[in-house]
Amino acid sequence: MSREADAPHPHRGQVVVVTGGSAGIGRASAVAFSEAGMRVVIAARNEERGTEVVQEIRAQGGEALFAQCDVTSPHQVRELFTRSVDVFGRVDCAFNNAGIPGDGRLAELEPEDFDHTFAVNTRGLWLCLREELRLMSAQGSGSVVNNTSVHGLRTVFPGIGAYVASKHAAVALTRMAALEHAQEGIRVNAVAPGPIESDMLAASEAAVGGATTWRRLIPSGAIGTPRQVADVALWLFSPSSSYVNGQVIGVDGGFLAT
């Protein structure tokens, strides 16, 4: 029996694009979406790691495609969605997951470092949203989930000002896109992860104390997993969340409730 035949009905055959899909939350999400029966386009800069994810999905009986893409490039973003439609015929869902850290105190940042953080986390998100919303508007349906951060809702640590600002902007883009396209059958929501097992969390050890600091802030003391974020994104794509729009869902072990 085929993978699609085994898949739960709500997602069977849907096409989803995952940016930053070669590692961490993006990789876990691409696999989770495929397990639910979705056809997955994995977009990332790293071709070797992206291709590995495609091979993993295909080995499990799923359908996947790798598209090399730097989200800061309007041309590459446009080509990503053109290729997705050429291969799979449509784009039903999108998980805008690509993002980078932005360490450094505001008074000490160089303009180019600040600009680069915004180029990926904010402008790159907008470039993807622009193509997704155009496609989904023409289709009359679609669901988008943006990967923001608890830092987009609450200033947690000093020393990462560019990152915090870029994620606040990502939250604003989520809400504006939801408002502008609600009458076109399109929903736009976001996940706001807290500390998640990832290279980014490990890299934050020097700047903000990484997992050590976070464990003191999370009510349960636990660090989350990429799959836990993926499962929330999958729910936001599903009919079960059909009346959820313009929302930012914390996936943070209760941190935002403290």
Query: Tens of pLDDT along 204-256?
Result: 665 566 777 888 899 989 999 999 999 999 999 999 999 999 999 999 999 99
In a domain, 42, yes or no: yes
Q: 216 with 243: CB under 8 angstroms? A: no
Examine residue 258 and state whether it is found in any structural domain, yes or no. Answer: no
Report the 10 Å Cβ neighbour count for 194.
23
90 vs 93: CA distance, rounded Å: 9
* 256 domain residue, yes or no: no
| Tally of domains in the chain | 1
Per annotation, catalytic residue among 163, 214, 237, 255 = 163
Does residue 255 belong to any structural domain of this protein? no
* Residue 27: inside a domain: yes
Domain around 242: 3-250
Question: Does the reported pTM lie above 0.85?
Answer: yes
- Are 158 and 114 spatial neighbours (Cβ–Cβ below 8 Å)? no
Q: Is residue 161 part of a domain?
A: yes
Quick check: is 64 in a domain? Answer: yes
211 in a structural domain: yes
* 243 assigned to active site: no
**How confident is the model over 117-167, as pLDDT tens digits?**
999 999 999 999 999 999 999 999 999 999 999 999 998 888 999 999 999
CB 122 within 8 A of CB 169: yes
CATH number at residue 155: 3.40.50.720
